[in-house]
Structure 1
Amino acid sequence: MSNTISVNNKLPTATRKKDKVIVTTMKRLFKNKLAVLGFAIILGLIIMSVFAPWLATYDPSKQNLVASELPVFSDGHWLGTDNYGRDVWSRIVYGSRISLLVGIAAVSLGLLGGITLGLLGGFYKKLDGIIMRIVDLLFSFPGILLAMLIIAILGTSLVNVAIAISIWSIPSCARIVRGSVLSIKQKEYIMALKSLGASDLRIMIRHILPNAMAPIIVFATMRMGTAILSTASLSYLGLGAQPPTPEWGAMISQGQSYMWTSPHLTIIPGIAIMLTVFAFNVLGDGLRDALDPNMDIQ
């Protein structure tokens, strides 16, 4: 009876400790006003992309040359229309969906490759040198040029943009994970697991990776902003979204010829990109501070 009580007491204690860590992290995060603002903007962006068919007032690709280049706050087109008479608000709404999907796909693929290389390099000393040389090789190319090179090989499409940005993300992620693994694998409990005969795969997946998640979460959040900005940049250069796809970078490219007559065609998608990148960056900064165990709650 006493043994049962002691075991049952240990489980709630561990659960309470985990819950306390989560609550403490959330308190730290929500004390950061900029991080809260960033979170609110991202939440609004997610809602906009999910409910795009209901929020958009027009078909984003439907042309109406009679109503082309209408200014902001025009009747029925509160953000105006472009040179083909397409509703700018509807294109911004659907563009948020494209930006988020490409960003999530690019960051997810980058994390998959980076975490795998980082775990293997940090855990196996023999592989570390080879993997780090590959990472250094990828680092030798400027990121946007590496993405352009990959797209030139694969072809222009949003799928290839996601692949290119993910390859660009791998070396940074691999270095972050490797650094965490090198630190964690020296801990006593890892040594104990090895002595008990636990497999390397189990140790890496069940014990090292969960303890390395804090820097990975911060990296993924901040990388989302970079991925969305890179997608817009590549689409602006004609290497990503192709007309009439309502993508923010492509909208800026199409609107730059009308900068003096209809500046809203460039300014509005530019503001959308700026706010999105700002939101992910400040949220990433807030998460970095909140997940820092040395931060004290005032």
Structure 2
Amino acid sequence: MRYLLIGIPLLLALLGPVFVPVELTRGAPFMPDHLLGTDFVGRDVWHQVLLGGRTVVLVALLATVCAYVVGVPWGVLAATARPLDELLMRPLDLLLAIPSLLVLILLATIAGPGLVALVGIVTLINFPDVARISRAAALEIAGRPAVEAMRLQGETWWRISVGYIGRSMLRTLAADLGVRLTAALYLVASASFLGVGVPPDAADWAVMVDRNRVGLFLQPWAVVIPAVLIVALSIGLNLTFDRALRKEAR
């Protein structure tokens, strides 16, 4: 079941645009024409579903990767170079104290529209959590006798922090990855819902939910299908990571 929950949205997001005609026609809004009817501006709902996953899925994946690329070294450095701990972590605590949607709106106002800006904003919102989790995991590992023995043997900071502590953190980071990816997915969907990063009439699952809700009872598929795809992908990701971690623990 979890593979279906992940596979269907991902296949639609990655391969869906291939099956969409180059020339798209428009009809009357919220009409039962075509396979799933038309949306709020008269476009084929099925074509919009095929086109609409690219932004939500790909931006969420890219932003999650960027958050770990920045957050993990940040947290490890704070845990192992203790004089820098306060300097590195206190600004992140301030950022975490602000609601993520408020940060999203404020940064979007400064950065302006665009998918690159959206990736950067979602990365900036997510990486403080990644850094805190990385720091907590690294602190626990840095207190082990093996790390002290490596220091006494004259091992370099790089070998201790990356070679030993970094590898020992992989299980903790894997456990966090499913939650972090789901958070990024919902944040990108919320941004699209609010019109941040994508045009208000873009072929995007979150935009479809927002713009077509006025005609929910006239054309429910334009709202239900993209909403179900976003939720299914989030649930499937969490189930898959939970299952993988349980297998590893046995």
- Cα 1:236–1:126 shift into 2, 3 Å: same
Deviations 1:190-223 (A, max 9, x none): 2222222221122212211111011212222222
Number of residue equivalences: 250
**Pairing of 1:145-164 with structure 2 (within 5 A):** 145-164=102-121
**Pairing of 1:95-106 with structure 2 (within 5 A):** 95-106=52-63
Residue 45 (structure 1) aligned with residue 6 (structure 2): no
Q: Is the 8 A contact 2:38 2:219 kept in 1?
A: no
Residue number among 90, 99, 103 corresponding to 1:142 in the alignment: 99
Deviations 1:208-251 (A, max 9, x none): 11110112122222222221211111111111311443111111
**Pairing of 1:238-277 with structure 2 (within 5 A):** 238-277=195-234
Residue number among 4, 11, 26 corresponding to 1:64 in the alignment: 26
Structure with more relative contact order (C-alpha pairs < 8 Å, separation 6 or more):
2
Tell me the TM-score normalized by structure 2: 0.90
**Pairing of 1:166-177 with structure 2 (within 5 A):** 166-177=123-134
Bigger Rg over Cα: 1
In structure 2, the partner of 1:125 is 82
SS in 1 for 2:52: helix
In structure 2, the partner of 1:205 is 162
- Cα 1:215–1:89 shift into 2, 3 Å: farther
Deviations 1:149-187 (A, max 9, x none): 111110122222221111111111111111111111122
SS in 1 for 2:63: helix
Deviations 1:92-151 (A, max 9, x none): 222222222101111111112210211011111111122221221111101111121111
SS in 2 for 1:51: helix
- Cα 1:179–1:280 shift into 2, 3 Å: same
- Cα 1:247–1:198 shift into 2, 3 Å: same
- Measured in 2, the distance between the counterparts of 1:87 and 1:262 equals 11
Query: Structure 1 residue runs of 4+, over 6 Å off?
Result: none
Tell me the TM-score normalized by structure 1: 0.76
SS in 2 for 1:262: coil
Identity %: 26
Task: Read off the aligned partner of 2:31 and give its amino acid letter.
Answer: L
- Measured in 2, the distance between the counterparts of 1:218 and 1:245 equals 34
Q: Comparing 77-86 with 157-166, which one deviates more in the overlay?
A: 77-86
Q: Is the 8 A contact 2:20 2:50 kept in 1?
A: no
- Measured in 1, the distance between the counterparts of 2:245 and 2:98 equals 27
TM-superposed deviation, 1:42: 1.7
- Cα 1:102–1:62 shift into 2, 3 Å: same
- Measured in 2, the distance between the counterparts of 1:214 and 1:39 equals 22
Q: Is the 8 A contact 2:5 2:235 kept in 1?
A: no
- Measured in 2, the distance between the counterparts of 1:287 and 1:125 equals 34
* 5+ long unaligned stretches in structure 1: 1-36
* 5+ long unaligned stretches in structure 2: none
- Measured in 2, the distance between the counterparts of 1:218 and 1:161 equals 25
In structure 1, the partner of 2:153 is 196
What is the alpha-carbon root mean square deviation over aligned residues? 2.1
- Cα 1:258–1:40 shift into 2, 3 Å: closer
TM-superposed deviation, 1:57: 4.3
